Amino acid sequence: MENSLLNILPFLLAMDLIIPFLLAPTYKGYNHLTQVMSVLGNSKSPLHLIYNIWLVVFGVATFISSLQLFATVARTSNLISTLLSSVIMIYAIGGCILSGSFSVGETKNIKTLSAKIHGYGSAIGFSLLAFAPLLIGLYFFKISNEWLGMLSFICFVLAIGFFVLFVMADKPKYRGTILAWEGLWQRLSLLSMYLPIVGLCYWK
């Protein structure tokens, strides 16, 4: 049971990055480079319901999978397992379930209650998930897998770097520059956060 759940998680993580590319062609004017993935969940997107349902399903599945990761990592370190499962659970709730349940508009405007819940939930979830590669790297070093530990640390540095660019992207002074590619930085930061989790699922 444990192995089957953890083997599904990498597929779900991959689908989270792929699904926006499948839905975007129906949304005229959507730009992967400059717009975040959650824009596909706003009411003007033709397939917004599909994307929002996906986020909720993905969040629930990720939350359950984090319990399996907790049990696996706890065999080596209770502290790392507690911190890791906590950040993944919070991301699953804030960055996925709440984001799918409370859609955002076409911009980062958070004037409505729905947009505020979405914005704060995803911000907290993304911020904490950025530390998942660091925790996974520590775990790999504890089990003497230095190669995966080092790769996880590299992913941590990249995740933080891309996340900083993501936060800076909507600043007026960067408009029209490569730094304004908000969508790209979001996807690269998520990729950097997801890869160590995939590694943990397969080389636990």
One DSSP character per residue, 29-85 reads T--TTTS-GGGGGSTTSTTHHHHHHHHHHHHHHHHHHHHHHHHHHTTT-HHHHHHHH
Report domain extents, the chain: 2-202
The model's pLDDT over 183-201, given as tens digits with 9 standing for 90+, comes to 999 999 999 999 999 999 8
Reported as a single tens digit per residue, the pLDDT across 59-75 is 999 999 998 888 889 99
pLDDT tier, 1 (very low <50, low <70, confident <90, very high otherwise): very low
pTM: 0.92
- Name the DSSP letter for residue 144: T
